[in-house]
Structure 1
């Protein structure tokens, strides 16, 4: 765990603009004026996933058009509107916007998230999608910043993506602070995180693939990445965790 805590204290925060083909969120937001926030992803049947999204816009009509586009997309299997939970607000959505919660079933192979995770990019919070572009905030180990270009190129090749880095900033934690945040992990998150560290998942190059680690944990790849993402967010910034864990 000491090595994991030391790695967690040395990070760079990147802001990325991403486009890639065969993505329903990009096609839909490119066709309408409403926007999306991408939150948590759950396993579904036949290798599919269900993602929790917030649709937001200036009017209910704009959201209606977005829902229609998503429902009719060749890249989605189902779109279900969820009941908005009282007291659940989105800090990423401007005050006064109309919002609607959606549960959308789709093929995870048409997303860029696994490609980013495979290259060590840790999602910082909800992904914003507007005007046919995804806006990601991701952490990356600052010890590997000299390889940053190479890793981004690998993501681009895996998904035929176009990626622009719009901002890079430092994000450092003291050793004591990082140690305290380990205690904030749930039992399962800590088990999975420690398993990942034990098998050099966070080294470069990695000592184990995501699929191999999922097999060792006896869970699906999607579930593994979700456990790791939540653990990493708690280790990096507890304020972010307040947003992520409430979803």
Structure 2
């Protein structure tokens, strides 16, 4: 199975569109977190006071370097709602988003990867319905060329795992529960906590299940197109096969 990568840019109303149009030398790189965005803002030009004021108004400044050599600012912002966002559309069309999003001269630049070229085409048609869009490239990716940028942000791996579940997972890991042979037992791990064994085990199993679910998309990408099946396992039936 081949992987298919598409890079494209879109234009629509967004808090960063006006800023990047007003300052054409500006580049904004955007990473999505669970409840906000981290922005890296750069320009090779000496920043004006108007530009600095606009950038500082975006959110909480985490780092700023602004002098005659140019501008480099890292800020945390919560301007764009991710509800029903373009990322939701990527997911609906089985396309994996490769961060960051790059904003420049009023355009948002995205790169996605999918297993099926048809999913890429469907996604682009969906976006054309309400956005100006320009496709920059569409390529097939050999399995051995899977880009390192496919690595998912750490917060995505632990999405929806509660603090208690994370604590149970960390305790098990640090005490050799996942080693072979095991360095400890569930009973011993629960004894290190203030909760019953059944409660501790529930936290641990839920953490394991959520972690594996979150990493599933990356696992499928890593194994996509593998010529041999080292376990000799039968492939899972498709929905069409199940219907038969």
Q: Under TM normalisation by the shorter chain, which class is it?
A: 0.5 to 0.7
Match of 2:63 in 1: 83
> Relative contact order (C-alpha < 8 Å, sep 6+): which is higher?
1
Corresponding position of 1:164: 134
Give the CA RMSD over aligned residues.
Answer: 4.2
The corresponding residue for 2:230 is none
**Using the alignment, how far apart are the partners of 2:220 and 2:63 within structure 1?**
26
Distance (Å, rounded) in 2 between the aligned partners of 1:79 and 1:161:
26
Give the TM-score normalised by structure 1.
0.52
8 Å Cα contact 1:29-1:132 kept in structure 2: yes
Of residues 4, 8, 12, the one that matches 1:20 is: 12
User: Is the CA contact (8 Å cut-off) linking 1:79 and 1:104 kept in structure 2?
Assistant: yes
- Shift in alpha-carbon separation, 1:228–1:56, aligned structure 2, 3 A: farther
Match of 2:78, SS state, is: strand
Note the residue ranges of structure 1 that are not aligned, 5 or more in a row.
Answer: 1-8, 44-49, 73-77, 85-95, 179-183, 193-216, 219-223, 237-247
Q: Report the equivalent of 1:189.
A: 157
1:56 corresponds to: 42
State the distance in 2 between where 1:52 and 1:165 align: 25
The answer as to 2:54 corresponding to 1:69 is yes
Aligned to 1:99: 72
With normalisation by structure 2, the TM-score equals: 0.53
Rg larger in 1 or in 2? 2
Q: Are the counterparts in 2 of residues 41 and 52 from structure 1 also a CA contact under 8 Å? A: yes
| 1:190 CA displacement | 8.8
* Number of residue equivalences: 163
Q: Counterpart in 1 of 2:87?
A: 113
Rounded to whole Å, the distance in 2 between the matches of 1:16 and 1:79 is: 27
Cα contact 2:96–2:113 (8 A) shared by 1 = yes
**1:31 match:** 22
